[in-house]
Amino acid sequence: MKKVTVEICCGTACYLLGSAKLLTLEEQLPEEWKEFVQIKALPCLNLCESAKLGAAPFVRLNQTEIMPEATMEKVLARIGKLVNRDDD
Amino acid sequence: MIRFIRAFHNGVLEKELDQIPIKMRPKDGVSSRCCIYHDRAVIKYHLMNLLGVSCNEETDEAKLLAEYYREKAERQSASQAPASSDSEGNPCQHPLSVCEAACSECPGSRVVVTGNCRGCFSRPCMYACPQKAISVVDQKSTIDEDLCIKCGKCISACPFHAIVKTTVPCEEACPTSAIHKDDQGHTTIDYSKCIACGNCLAKCPFSAIMEKSQVLDVLLALKAGEKLVAVIAPSAAAQLPGTIEQLFTAVSRLGFYDVMEVALGAEETSRHEAAEFKERMAKGEKLMTTSCCSAYVEMVRKLLPSFLPHVSSTPSPMMFTAEIARREIPDCKVVFIGPCVAKRIEAQRKGVDFVLNFEELGAMLAGQGIDVISCEPWKLTRPAIPSARNYCRSCGVTKAVLEEAGDLPEGFQLDAKFIDGIDHKTLAMLKLYEAGKLPANFLEVMSCPGGCVNGPCSLRK
């Protein structure tokens, strides 16, 4: 399994549009993933400013990958892919 | 809503207003209703309500949103006072209205046999029915709707859970049966019965009940440089990111002159209410109820005026806080921020200038790019006491009043009962109390189960 960092934007817009719910992500993680996944709640990432990136709430995975309109299901599914990836 | 506010700050609201529905539901995008055109029509009504024009006020369907905006802005610059309290009972002044375009006109409540019926031969449904409305046709139970009284006995009798009662969410949620269908099947609100509890607003899954907003009035007033004081209800805790102190800073950065806790007014309310209780009991009265819940007061005023003498005459925390604000900053206008619809009516009647809900506040912050959790904590001149901050939870008012009441005369007790959430039975219960069937001598009434924290415009449920 690979390490994954999940950064949840807690800017006002993201929080209102659903990142408040994402803050319970840790409870939703399957036991076996827990030691590999690091979850952070951050102040506004300024991703909502650009219409190109999509709509709030935003989550950033592994510092680079941006997920717009994040939901618990989408984030969990993506984490699943990332912890089990076999690149490098 | 965020788009709306962002456009306002960029000074392009008037120009872009009528484009917002299209931009939100573009040609190749997804729709949440039957098609993007239906969505756009409903979004238009949402925007109209944001402009402070309720669905009841629409006279010309073709009128552009920009025109509504212009009218409002002109009225603001001419500083005409908004319609005063003499307009009470006028559906155009009421905060709630039904948007026909959004209403799905849910079929009226019925008891129906579903495909799960196995046509069993012990037929418990038939025997359970007191009206003999159920018969078996082609091996399936069938309900004669003319005879059915919707008692639901067959529902619990069926071992296959094959019988269900369909409901109309808004009608089910309305404690005073004010919302109903007219002859054409359109949902309408009977404003002589509506207590503005906001249950229908919270429960309609089509968002067809709309709330007339004052967000534009506040934005315009802020822009014009008026001295606005935000008074924030204690139920604001955990509604938005960050701490309450950070939220206060964020609100002041919106351009408010000052920010205050409504809990400060709640302290006054407890003190007065405790004194009033003692006085009333000394006079030999048997029952006093709280007065802080606007929906409850509205219910007594409209539906059981004879009960009014039992309602405490103490002003609500909102009113006391407004008084404090006006004392400290004489030429200010007061903006109450809370989770409540009925407060809009109380504000209209008793002269609090504007009311915003937490969603509107959140949109204002997001629209201006104010990040609450990056804000410095606000320095409260004097933090309110915990019991006053606890007003927003059921039983909190009683606790605070008990604390204030201190020693009661010998052999005398404050015996409290609670109505935690006004429902269909509440009115009948109040009538019983009035007739002398007293539950206690102190009655706390909260329209929302659990208190204001579960208000209709609360963001976290």
Mean of all residue pLDDT scores within chain B: 89
Contact B369 A16 (CB under 8 A): no
**Residues of B whose CB is below 8 A from A20:** 241, 459-460
Range of the domain at A48: 4-83
pLDDT digit string (tens) for B30-71?
Answer: 888 889 999 999 999 999 999 999 999 888 888 999 999 998
User: Is A29 inside a domain boundary?
Assistant: yes
Confidence of residue B410 (pLDDT cuts 50, 70, 90): low
Q: Which pLDDT score, from 0 to 100, does residue B361 have?
A: 93
**pLDDT of B384 above 90:** no
Q: Which pLDDT score, from 0 to 100, does residue B87 have?
A: 53
**pLDDT of A88 above 60:** no
**Dihedral sign from CA coordinates of B170, B175, B179, B183:** positive
**Residues of B whose CB is below 8 A from A10:** 241, 373
CATH code of the domain containing A67: 3.40.30.10
The answer to whether the beta carbons of residues B436 and B324 sit under 8 Å apart is no
The Cα–Cα gap between B395 and B444 comes to 7
User: In terms of Cα–Cα distance, which of A75, A77, A84 is closest to A23?
Assistant: A75
Contact A15 B372 (CB under 8 A): yes
Helices B317-328, B262-282: crossing angle, 10 deg rounding:
120
Residue B374 contacts A where some CB pair is shorter than 8 Å:
yes
φ, ψ at A80 (rounded to 5°): -55, -45
Residue A23 contacts B where some CB pair is shorter than 8 Å:
no
**Residues of B whose CB is below 8 A from A48:** 366
For residue B258, the one-letter residue type is D
The Cα–Cα gap between B112 and B174 comes to 23
| CB–CB contacts below 8 A, A to B | 38
User: Is A48 inside a domain boundary?
Assistant: yes
Question: If you average pLDDT over each of B218-222, B386-390, B440-444, which comes out highest?
Answer: B218-222
Q: Looking at chain B from residue 223 to 252, which residues have their Cβ under 8 Å from any Cβ of chain A?
A: 240-241, 250
Q: Residue B33 CB: number of other CB atoms within 10 A?
A: 16
Residue B383 DSSP code? P
**pLDDT of A77 above 80:** yes
pLDDT digit string (tens) for B217-266?
Answer: 999 999 998 999 999 999 988 788 888 899 999 999 999 999 999 999 99
Count of domains forming chain A: 1
Contact A20 B2 (CB under 8 A): no
Closest approach of A31 to chain B, Cα-based (Å): 27
pLDDT digit string (tens) for B120-144?
Answer: 989 999 999 999 999 999 889 999 9
Contact B241 A15 (CB under 8 A): yes
Which of A23-32, B306-315, B406-415 bottoms out in mean pLDDT, i.e. has the lowest?
Answer: B406-415
Structural domains of chain B, with CATH? 1-80 (no CATH), 110-166 (3.30.70.20), 217-454 (3.40.950.10)
pLDDT digit string (tens) for B18-28?
Answer: 999 998 899 88
User: Is A36 inside a domain boundary?
Assistant: yes
The Cα–Cα gap between B28 and B195 comes to 42
> How many helices, marked H, and strands, marked E, lie in chain B?
19, 15
Structure token digits, residue B404:
């204030």
User: Is A11 inside a domain boundary?
Assistant: yes
Structure token digits, residue B198:
């906001």
Residue B330 contacts A where some CB pair is shorter than 8 Å:
no
Q: Cα angle vertex B301, ends B217, B288, to 5°?
A: 115
Confidence of residue B106 (pLDDT cuts 50, 70, 90): confident
User: Is A20 inside a domain boundary?
Assistant: yes
Mean of all residue pLDDT scores within chain A: 87
Rounded alpha-carbon distances, angstroms, from residue A19 to A75, B273, B388: 11, 41, 30
User: Is A88 inside a domain boundary?
Assistant: no
User: Is A62 inside a domain boundary?
Assistant: yes
User: Is A39 inside a domain boundary?
Assistant: yes
